[in-house]
């Protein structure tokens, strides 16, 4: 759906919260959960869908869709594995899915193309980044996702599509400057595919690399450096010019229009970055932010080693499925240094072992890459990075930076039991309402003439916002100084050291 605020961004949640690696499994999760979540977010009664309002899946598939009082086009942030994407590409499946979207007032505007393979129910850890942009299979997968999105994206004027992807590679995989250049060349090949799609369909699709702790692209300055030195380098524009048969100026513009970033709020908060300053730096560097993922991580004061705090951290460390990188801020002049740990159990072991730190530079605060429901500021004996997310939303409300906002709390199945009370459907619906309240107070607009879910509560009132504009896709995105903005990104953390413990750098 579109929010009634500056830029009229599209809001959704990412379906990577639902298990499903085949297209049949994905389709079932959409019928069971997606319709129920949007109905609940829009103020519908619990259990109103045949699929079960509590998200349990009981009482039928829910394929008959939303009732007459909930007829509004609501956004879908679709996650597809490589297998599911290949199965959806079959013409009969694609036609059936388009019919499902139309019947239920849904539209797909963004895809999550980060995890290539299995993402739930078994250890994933650093394998989630494979294949990466050093591998031809990542290029083929991303090309297929873009082709599918072009088939699903509505032809509304000004509506672009986005596909989020891995941050180049897991950091230890990138060993030489030649590796960075190789990734940039594959990104150019993908850009040529996106140019061809736009020529053929008129639809603008952008790839969005998602910086993440302990990866090749981890921080905003690193992302700016990679795009400036490699992706937007003159030789890359010449390559695109030759591949796509376009002029050099058009190729330069196409690189900036089709390749950019996915800005994940949890990841940036874990890095102790100031999100508005980071966005300003990206704007000044001419790097488009094609999607903002709305997420929150954990924060803990570890200086005192409070028993309740440590016990709660150990509860989260019990997860064996995902990586939960830790960035530790230590004391010291100017705010101390930042030290990285690849995973939460490793950070706990270092703390328990009393790893030596210089006098006055003991561990003070941890930020943990563990996505938690964004409506919670306090999580047991821990806190969350919700205040940083709220500040980001306040900034986006006044200074639009993207068309696409996507709530992403994929860790539902591995959260401590007490954090899953109330059920998945209610939790995700509450997250969507929490975002809307901070962006617009209430009310939103549907996509397309006469499609508003307009009567109702929560995400319901159609306030008639116009078409909006594309933000951040091209060269006209910045007047501020990149150098000045870069110096402000880490303002919340003081001196930024490059010390890394166990991150493989």
CATH of the domain at 329: 3.20.20.150
The full DSSP string for 361-401 is: --EEEEEEEEEE-TT-SEETTEEESHHHHHHHHHHHHHS--
- Any idea of the CA torsion for 23, 154, 403, 290, to the nearest 10 degrees? 50
Task: Identify whether the C-beta of residue 213 lies closer than 8 Å to the C-beta of residue 341.
Answer: no
H-helix or E-strand containing 349?
Answer: helix 344-352
In a domain, 30, yes or no: yes
| Count of domains forming the chain | 1
Structure confidence at residue 489 (pLDDT): 64
In a domain, 501, yes or no: no
Closest CA to 325 of 298, 306, 303, 352: 298
H-helix or E-strand containing 330?
Answer: strand 326-330
Predicted model pTM = 0.85
d(CA 267, CA 89): 32
Low pLDDT (below 50) residues in the chain: 45-71, 443, 445-488, 491-505
> Longest Cα pair distance anywhere in the chain, in angstroms?
66
Structure confidence at residue 422 (pLDDT): 92
Q: What is the DSSP secondary structure assignment for residue 323, as one 8-state letter?
A: -
Structure confidence at residue 50 (pLDDT): 27
In a domain, 504, yes or no: no
In a domain, 17, yes or no: yes
Structure confidence at residue 336 (pLDDT): 75
In a domain, 499, yes or no: no
Provide the residue range defining the domain that includes 234.
2-493
Structure confidence at residue 379 (pLDDT): 81
Structure confidence at residue 130 (pLDDT): 98
Tokens of 25: 């499994």
Closest CA to 311 of 244, 408, 382, 387: 382
Task: Identify whether the C-beta of residue 214 lies closer than 8 Å to the C-beta of residue 323.
Answer: yes
Structure confidence at residue 295 (pLDDT): 98
In a domain, 503, yes or no: no
Tokens of 80: 């597809």
Torsions phi, psi of 207, nearest 5?
-90, 140
Structure confidence at residue 301 (pLDDT): 94
In a domain, 502, yes or no: no
In a domain, 217, yes or no: yes
């Amino acid at each position: 759906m579109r929010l009634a605020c500056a830029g009229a961004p599209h809001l959704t949640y990412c379906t990577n919260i639902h298990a499903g690696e085949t297209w049949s499994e994905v389709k079932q999760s959409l019928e069971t959960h997606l319709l129920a979540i949007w109905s609940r977010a829009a103020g519908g009664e619990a259990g109103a869908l045949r699929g079960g309002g509590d998200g349990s899946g009981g009482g039928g598939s829910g394929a008959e869709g939303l009732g007459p009082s909930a007829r509004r086009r609501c956004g879908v942030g679709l996650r597809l594995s490589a297998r599911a994407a290949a199965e959806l590409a079959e013409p009969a499946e694609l036609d059936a899915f388009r019919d499902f979207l139309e019947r239920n007032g849904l539209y797909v505007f963004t895809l999550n193309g980060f995890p290539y393979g299995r993402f739930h129910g078994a250890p994933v850890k650093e394998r989630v980044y494979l294949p990466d942009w050093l591998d031809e299979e990542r290029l083929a997968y991303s090309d297929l996702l873009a082709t599918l999105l072009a088939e699903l994206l509505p032809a509304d004027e000004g509506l672009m599509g986005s596909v989020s992807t891995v941050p180049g590679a897991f950091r230890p995989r990138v060993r030489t400057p030649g590796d960075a250049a190789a990734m940039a060349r594959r990104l150019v090949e993908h850009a040529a595919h996106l140019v061809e799609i736009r020529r053929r369909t008129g639809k603008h699709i952008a790839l969005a690399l998602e910086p993440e702790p302990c990866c090749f692209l981890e921080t905003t300055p690193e992302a700016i450096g990679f795009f400036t030195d490699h992706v937007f380098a003159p030789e890359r524009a010449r390559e695109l010019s030759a591949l796509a048969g376009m002029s050099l100026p058009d190729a330069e513009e196409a690189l900036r229009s089709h390749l950019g970033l996915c800005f994940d709020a949890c990841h940036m908060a874990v890095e102790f970055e100031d999100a508005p300053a980071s966005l300003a730096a990206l704007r000044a560097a001419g790097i488009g932010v094609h999607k903002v993922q709305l997420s929150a991580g954990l924060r803990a004061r570890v200086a005192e080693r409070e028993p309740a705090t440590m016990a709660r951290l150990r509860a989260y460390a019990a997860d064996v499925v995902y990586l939960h990188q830790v960035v530790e801020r230590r004391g010291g002049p100017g705010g101390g240094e930042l030290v990285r740990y690849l995973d939460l159990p490793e950070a706990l072991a270092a703390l328990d072992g009393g790893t030596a730190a210089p006098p006055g530079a003991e561990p003070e605060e941890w930020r943990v890459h563990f996505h938690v429901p964004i409506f919670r500021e306090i999580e047991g004996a821990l806190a969350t990075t919700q205040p940083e997310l709220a500040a980001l939303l306040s900034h986006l409300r006044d200074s639009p930076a993207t068309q696409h906002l996507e709530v992403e709390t994929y860790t539902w199945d591995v959260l401590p039991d007490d954090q899953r009370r109330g059920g998945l459907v209610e939790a995700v619906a509450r997250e969507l309402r929490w975002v809307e309240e901070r962006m617009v107070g209430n009310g939103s607009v549907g996509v397309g003439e006469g499609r508003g879910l307009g009567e109702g509560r929560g995400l319901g009132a159609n306030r008639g916002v116009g078409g909006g504009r594309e933000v951040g896709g091209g060269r006209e995105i910045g007047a501020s100084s990149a150098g000045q903005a870069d110096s402000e990104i880490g303002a919340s953390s003081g001196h930024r050291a490059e010390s890394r413990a166990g991150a493989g750098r």
